[in-house]
Amino acid sequence: MRGISLDQLRENIDIAFDALRVSKLRSGLTILGVVIGVATVMTMATIVQGVRDQILNTISVAGPSTFYVMRVFNTTPVNPDDLPKWIRIRPALIAEEADRISQIPQIEYAGIWAQIQLRLDYQGARTQSIAGFGADDRYQEIQGGELIEGRWFTKAELRSGAPVIVIQEAQARRIFGRIDPIGKTIVAGGRPVQVVGLYQPPANIFSPPGQEIGAVFPFEFVTHNFHIDKTNALFICVKPRPSVSVADAMDAVTIEMRSMRKLRPADHNNFDLMSQSQILDTFTSITDIFFLVMLVLASVALMVGGIGVMAIMMVSVTARTREIGVRKALGATRRDILLQFLIEAATLTGIGGVLGILVGLTAGRGVTSLMNIEANTPVGLTLVAVAVSVAIGLIFGVIPARRAARMNPVEALRYE
Amino acid sequence: MSPHTDDVALSTTAERAAVVQAAGAQPDKDWVIVTRGLKREYDMGGEIVRALRGVDLAIRRNEYVAIMGPSGSGKSTFMNLIGCLDTPNAGEYWLSGELVSQKNDDELARVRNKEIGFVFQTFNLLPRASALHNVELPLVYAGIGSAERKERAMEALTKVQLDNRATHRPNELSGGQRQRVAIARALVNRPSILLADEPTGNLDSTTSEEIMKVFENLAETGQTVIMVTHEPDIAAHARRVVVLRDGLIASDERKENFTSKLGL
């Protein structure tokens, strides 16, 4: 087969646009399937990409090395009562275990923390239900973020479980407005506590709005003043020394935990470790499935779009029988006619693809901005989408184009 | 041009007969068209229609020929064969010294592009293209680049005095102008023959005369013109008239004989 010159290509694309201009509505309806298919994929891709970027960003800010020892770690929410017995009988984590872990040479920090749900209340102004942590004075070092105003807890406050609180800046603004919160006494989960610091956490995708860590208390205060579900709310936060790999540190912690709990070699761990990369893996596997489903749906839409294009090209070929006859009389070969209609079909679906990309990117941006994350354009996928759209036109255009190419010039010229 | 010079330009009967009868032999290139025993049959639902039953014809370069005949005489079939739009069931067709009756579709397309300029009764211009672009079309299929195409198309439009209408679309032109655009399109690739099928069939008599004048001028400048028509007064412009009847040549006469016969 001869190649196709640029001049030929341009000539044929001109013809295609001309034909499309004549039947705008018909062409528009025809490419709707392609537009929808491409738009769907692009929307999802933009959202997933944005979320993924955000997670990677979060992990790099929070320190990718921090990991957690938990009683049970599930990648999906489950009813605690439905867990198998061997998991339900696992012992709760205790402060001594955290102390022992912190003494492992590879470990820089280990501390037992607790998570609770509560509302903050200052003179009638209340927050939504927010998450609070019982932690220690090294919270910021481990979790990232920065102290805006005031101070963290003193050693004495930590030991005694003093009623002090460091609150997230956004939450503080909600209940205090323009009043300076430092030194004020608020009601947190029904108990009076004194605000000592304002804290700005790093942007974190894991805590959606309303579920952000809104308040940090001394661990002892939380365990003494709140009802804590000891089986699930407690976890040990572990940070390895900078020179130690996360995997090595996790191995060391596992060995230490097993020896503390006197497990025999044949026994399963009766605790779970959760690292940031595991969260990313979990998220990736979820989004991959999501992507696969979208891809199947989009393929169906593209298939329907392709068949629409085929139908409309059939109509177009019949309607332009006379034109085909004239072109053949003037010297167009079968290949010339075949190319003309293939390029017309590809132009049609290509336009559909571009429209779909524009719609998809816009929709994706809209959703991600609602989710308050930054969306990057998935450039690679955009190019793939254009290529796929054009390919759909070429594939589904073959049958009508062949029909046009094989027309007998005498009959085509006689066609009314 | 006097009838006498016409005679010189026109092939002699003996010469023609010799060329036609030398079956299988390649004619001299000056014989732009030679057909030998050309047959074309159609299968119309089991019934065989013999449209052409063995046509022998030789046309020299620079001739101006009208092909006439009542409907059903096979003149349209003959025109399609001459124009390389169709292939015969039997017989030879030599065009400019080349045997084209055995060629396949794509080879025929190239022959049409290079050797034949069509002018149709209904003009057959592309409605959405400008006059210039319509004229460019044969050059597009000849694979000629855009710049040269435009230049040559403009030249052809100038020949039919429509260079000032180059950007107009067919629906912005009169019937006569449209047919002149079609003639420019037919000439743009410098074909061996200009093949016109009822070129004035859709035109009023004044415009018809105007179009015939164009053909006349082309013939005088050496263009071979073959015109299929059923109107004697149009055929009268040609210098040779071939009449088909029932798929065979009924008469093939030079101008002075023919005009006297028609009583013009």
Taking an 8 Å cut-off on Cβ atoms, the answer to whether A331 and B120 are in contact is no
What Cα–Cα distance (Å) separates residue A78 from each residue in A73, A74, A207, B18? 10, 8, 18, 101
The domain containing residue B196 runs over which residues? 62-86+104-262
Q: What is the pTM of this model?
A: 0.71
Which CATH number do you get for residue B251? 3.40.50.300
Q: What is the pLDDT of residue A209?
A: 45
Nearest to A331 among B124, B141, B145 (CB): B141
All residues of chain A having their beta carbon less than 8 Å from the beta carbon of residue B114 are: 331
Structure tokens at B101: 């009756």
Report CB contact under 8 Å: B106, A334: yes
Q: Please report whether residue B2 resides in a domain.
A: no
Greater confidence, A7 or B164? B164
Domain assignment present for B170: yes
| pLDDT at residue A253 is higher than 50 | yes
pLDDT above 80 for A60: no
Q: Structure tokens of A134? A: 């019982």
Cα separation values, A328 from A292, B73, B96, Å: 46, 25, 20
Q: Can you tell me which residue has the tokens 């000849």?
A: B142
Q: Which residues of A touch B137 (CB under 8 A)?
A: 327, 330
pLDDT digits (tens, 9 = 90+) for A176-196: 888 888 999 999 888 899 999
Contact of B166 with B197, CB cutoff 8 Å: no
* List of chain B residues whose C-beta atoms are within 8 Å of the C-beta of residue A323: 126
Nearest CA in chain A to B127: A323
Nearest Cα of chain A lies from the Cα of B229 at a distance, in angstroms, of 16
A298 and A37 Cβ atoms separated by less than 8 Å: yes
Of A18, A329, A333, the CB nearest to B118: A329
Distance from CA of A330 to the nearest CA of B (A): 5
Asked if the structure places residue B57 within a domain, the reply is no
pLDDT of residue B4: 40
Q: What are the pLDDT digits (tens) for A17-57? A: 887 787 788 888 888 888 988 898 888 888 887 877 777 76
In a domain, B5, yes or no: no
- Say if B32 falls within a structural domain: no
* Positive or negative torsion for Cα A259, A260, A264, A269: negative
How far, in Å, CA of B216 to CA of B199, rounded?
13
State the pLDDT confidence band at A59, using cuts at 50, 70 and 90.
Answer: low
B32 SS3 class: strand
- Residue B39's H or E segment, with its range, is strand B31-44
Task: Pick B260 or A323 by higher pLDDT.
Answer: A323
Cα separations in angstroms, B205 against A32, A166, A360, B118, B244: 51, 101, 61, 21, 25
Closest chain A residue to B106 measured between Cα atoms?
A: A333
Q: Which residues from chain B sit within 8 angstroms of residue A334, using beta carbons?
A: 105-106, 109
Nearest by CB to B109, which of A326, A333, A413?
A333
Residue B51 tokens read as 């449209």
d(CA A50, CA A388) in angstroms, rounded, equals 23
Query: Of A365 and B155, which is predicted with more confidence?
Result: B155
Nearest CB to A329; choose among B85, B142, B145:
B85
Q: Is the model more confident about A96 or about A5?
A: A96
How far is C-alpha A108 from the geometric centre of its chain's CA atoms? 31
Q: Is residue B245 part of a domain?
A: yes
Residue A144: per-residue pLDDT: 75
- Could B109 and A410 be called an inter-chain contact, meaning their C-beta atoms sit closer than 8 Å? no
For chain A, which residues lie within 8 Å of any Cβ of chain B, measuring from their own Cβ?
A: 5, 7-8, 11, 18, 22, 322-323, 325-336, 409-410, 413
Q: What pLDDT does B220 receive?
A: 92
d(CA B65, CA B93): 17
d(CA A271, CA A377): 41
Q: Cβ of B106 and A333 within 8 Å?
A: yes
Nearest CA in chain B to A5: B143
Q: Quote the distance between the C-alpha of residue B2 and its chain's center.
A: 23
Name the residue facing A328 among B109, B140, B142 (closest C-beta). B109
Q: With contacts defined as CB-CB under 8 Å, which chain A residues touch B140?
A: 8, 11
Least Cα separation, residue A6 to chain B (angstroms)? 10
Judged on CB neighbours under 10 Å (0-12, 13-18, 19+), A84 is exposed
User: Is the separation of the CB atoms in B131 and B115 below 8 Å?
Assistant: no
Q: Which of B106, B126, B145 sits opposite A326 (nearest CB)?
A: B126
Residue B38 lies in a domain: no
In a domain, B210, yes or no: yes
The vertex-B183 CA angle with B180 and B189, nearest 5°, equals 140
Query: Hey, are the CB atoms on B80 and A410 less than 8 Å from each other?
Result: yes
pLDDT of A281 higher than 90: no
Number of domains in chain B: 1
**pLDDT value at residue A115:** 85
Q: Which of A1-10, A143-152, B70-79, B245-254 is the least confident region?
A: A1-10
Q: What is the pLDDT averaged over residues A199-223?
A: 72
Residues B75-120 have pLDDT tens digits of: 999 999 999 999 999 999 999 989 999 899 999 999 999 999 999 9
Pairing state between β A164-168 and A191-200 = parallel
Residues of B in contact with A409 (CB under 8 A): 85-86
In chain B, the residue whose alpha carbon lies closest to the alpha carbon of A406 is: B105
- The percentage of chain A sitting over the pLDDT mark of 90, rounded to a whole number, equals 23
Which residues of chain B are under the pLDDT cut of 50? 1-10, 257-264
- DSSP letter string over A348-404? HHHHHHHHHHHHHHHHHHHHHHHTT------HHHHHHHHHHHHHHHHHHHHHHHHHH
Whether the predicted pLDDT of A372 surpasses 80 = no
State which residue of chain B sits closest to A9, comparing Cα positions: B140
Which is more confident, A404 or A367?
Answer: A404
DSSP alpha helices (H): ranges in A218-333? 219-225, 246-260, 276-319, 321-329
**ipTM of the complex as predicted:** 0.90
